[in-house]
Amino acid sequence: MAGHFEAVPGGGAAVALDEVEISILRSLAVQLLELLGPGDEPAQGEDPLAQLFAPGPSEPPADPALARLFPDAYGNGDDELREYSSEFRRFTENDLRDRKREDGMALVRTLDAVTAAGENGAVLKLTPEDCRHWLGALNDLRLTIGTRLEVTDEDEGGELYRLPDSDPRKPMVMAYLWLGALQETLVETLMP
């Protein structure tokens, strides 16, 4: 089980992680949460229902990683498609951002629970709901790191896989590949 997910009775999954892996996952998740920014809590005395229906941003984020996490709904087209994307973003980005924050926080809470138990490593047992959050967080982490590494769909040559150890991108590449393996085994575990 070390390093990959396996099914557990009841529909969840389990994975054995050592202390270093837990620390790396937690650090990456916290960095993702910082990138996403804080949630918008209603000001004291403000109507929470009004906040729920407040419009979000209409322009794509300037940060390429955030733009990858929150892409235009209708691609880069003509003015009419940009207008549709803008309207779609205005009504959906806040909810999507909240969900991504929730996924990241669930990952951090799971890891913190293991760390609080004082173990140097552990077998994490995830409920089906935890698995959903972990899949979302692992996907967001890979998209973010992939954007920072400038990985594209056409990246067939695999030059990133052959980086020398002295290349400063090497740790990010290793994290990207490791997160991909975790994500893949979690998906396979949850497949019927």
Residue 131 lies in a domain: yes
- 161 token code pair: 């896989």
Are 103 and 137 contacting, i.e. CB atoms less than 8 angstroms apart?
Answer: yes
The verdict on residue 82 lying in a domain is no
Asked if 118 contacts 86 with a C-beta cutoff of 8 angstroms, the reply is: no
Structural domain count, the chain = 1
pLDDT for the residue numbered 126: 94
- Report d(CA 43, CA 103) in Å as an integer: 24
- Torsion angle of alpha carbons 19, 21, 27, 31, nearest 10°? -170
Confidence band (pLDDT; 50, 70, 90) for 179? very high
For residue 163, tell me if it sits in a domain.
yes
Tens-place pLDDT, residues 113-164: 887 666 567 889 999 999 999 999 999 999 999 999 988 776 655 777 788 9
Quote the pTM value. Answer: 0.87
Domain containing 155 equals 6-38+97-190
Classify residue 175 as left (phi > 0), alpha (psi -120 to 50) or beta. alpha
pLDDT, averaged across the chain: 86
Query: Which residue bears the tokens 């020398």?
Result: 164
pLDDT of residue 91: 87
Average pLDDT, stretch 42-61?
68
**Residue 20 lies inside a defined structural domain of this protein:** yes
Q: Output 155 or 103, whichever has higher pLDDT.
A: 103
